[in-house]
Amino acid sequence: MIQPTLPAPAPLRPSELTVLNLPMGDRRVRPLLDELALEYDSRYGSLFGRGAAAAELNRYPAKEFVAPVGALLIVQENGESVAGGAFRRHGPQTAEFKRIWTHSAHRRRGLARFVLAELESLAARRGYRKVYLTTGPRQPEAKHLYLNTGYEAQFDLSADPETVGPLAFTKELPAVRR
């Protein structure tokens, strides 16, 4: 059977992107949360049960993702939310990155790397010196993104990810004068 050829993803043009620091309840955040719930349910429904994604996405109070200890960033292109991510305090000098996401129609363009760079920059400006994050064992593309952007795995890379559970990563941030 011949596989259809997918169109090449649109090139990333950072000058055409708008980065918004928003509260969790803002309507422009909704696409991130809705699609993350679908993604998590499709990948982990057989492991955690259907609907478990909603509980995971609501596990942390919204106030943990606001300044000065946190942030929630949405990247928009032509007024559409196409990517995003957030961080919260994990320790005195450690930010925990959460909900790094790229809309399914905009993947393979470098948006996740763009979001990581934006989150890292803002976290460093807020005084964090280190990042901690986890991804699920059924998200190999996220695992490779973190490894390819300087994050250190806190687990045995040769182990079957399904036996590890959440895959933890850390990264030191450069000092920034505030």
**Strand 80-91, strand 71-77: pairing:** antiparallel
State the pairing for strand pair 167-172/152-153: antiparallel
* Alpha helix ranges (H) inside 49-139: 52-57, 111-125
Q: What is the pLDDT of residues 123-156, one digit of tens each?
A: 999 999 999 999 989 899 999 999 999 999 999 9
67 in Cβ contact with 128 (< 8 Å): no
Nearest CA to 47 out of 139, 141, 172 is that of: 139
Task: Say whether pTM exceeds 0.95.
Answer: no
3 state SS of 153:
strand
Amino acid at 143: K
Average pLDDT of span 36-62: 77
Sign of the dihedral through C-alpha 33, 97, 139, 53: negative
pLDDT in tens, 58-90: 788 999 999 999 999 999 999 999 999 999 999
Distance CA 150, CA 169 (A): 10
CA triplet 76, 176, 149: central angle to 5 degrees? 55
112 pLDDT higher than 70:
yes
* Position 136, amino acid: G
